[in-house]
Structure 1
């Protein structure tokens, strides 16, 4: 059995089958993709412990980051979250049914109804976010400070180069 990890074994097979191609990028991209999947599983555990999905956590956190009165319009929520506008209404409805957010009338425009955290929503996201940060600290501790700092710089530069910052 080879000492290679899954990405390394895949590269080895492609090098054998297609020696005319440089499969070096698979080492980075494949491992980064697998890392993202593994991290998502680790993060989902904390969301689930607070009876939230990743998207619901994202909506509540975005409202909390807005500062008092902890509200944003649907357009602002879509702009500041990883939730598409199509999926946003369903998530806001679900959070509203649970008493975590409410749609409030706007004095400026009757059609514009900002979404606001309720006190229960604020309490939940404050607890969930504290647990989330503890979890992220635990995950980064697996690397060590120097590697985590270097990785953050590299990923920031790469996202910028991709126009995805």
Structure 2
């Protein structure tokens, strides 16, 4: 295990920092650095599927949020922004593009004339169903690089860690 770790980029960075700054504990880089590099690589792998379907990552997220809403596959613009964790301005740009492509429609809310309701069109639903199926197949391919036990352990650890980080951020 040590040979494999010592050959990777993060281990080389740590070795350099241990040499240059022996007074600083660089062990967190072992986890954080590798997670950061892995996140970048995973994002690259996931974008292949989005590109194949002519979507950006953000557009994929919007279509997924609408599809998950169930019949009639619609949400208010503000609700979509909350479900995809982007600003309303960024959401407007995504919706504009999706509307131009005929994948969603927009209308005024019946209850609040200032609010817009975004609805998935038939072609939008067909596209996101295909793209989501491809996306899950791609995620399975990536996760299958681990053993089932490793994947289960990693999910448990990440769930716990994420919860703690989010709870500590919420509290201050």
Unaligned runs of 5+ in 2: none
RMSD across aligned positions (CA): 1.5
**Equivalent residue in structure 1 for 2:71, among 68, 91, 100:** 68
Cα distance in 1 for residues equivalent to 2:147 and 2:105: 41
Match of 1:120, SS state, is: helix
- 2:41 aligned with 1:15: no
Q: Is the 8 A contact 1:60 1:121 kept in 2?
A: yes
- The 1:134–1:60 alpha-carbon spacing in structure 2 relative to 1, beyond 3 Å, is same
Match of 1:104, SS state, is: strand
| Structure 1 runs, 4 residues or longer, greater than 6 Å off | none
Deviation, structure 1 residue 72:
0.4
Cα distance in 1 for residues equivalent to 2:36 and 2:157: 15
User: Normalising by the residue count of structure 2, what TM-score does the alignment of the two structures yield?
Assistant: 0.91
Cα distance in 2 for residues equivalent to 1:22 and 1:31: 16
Q: Deviations over 1:25-45 (max 9, x none)?
A: 001000000000000000000
**Equivalent residue in structure 2 for 1:123, among 114, 118, 126:** 126
Q: Deviations over 1:99-155 (max 9, x none)?
A: 000002322222222100000100000000000000000000001211111111111
- 2:81 aligned with 1:88: no
Q: Deviations over 1:34-79 (max 9, x none)?
A: 0000000000000000000000000000000000000000111011
Matches within 5 A, 1:1-165: 3-163=6-166
**Count of residues paired in the alignment:** 164
Cα distance in 2 for residues equivalent to 1:61 and 1:78: 12
Unaligned runs of 5+ in 1: none
User: Normalising by the residue count of structure 1, what TM-score does the alignment of the two structures yield?
Assistant: 0.95
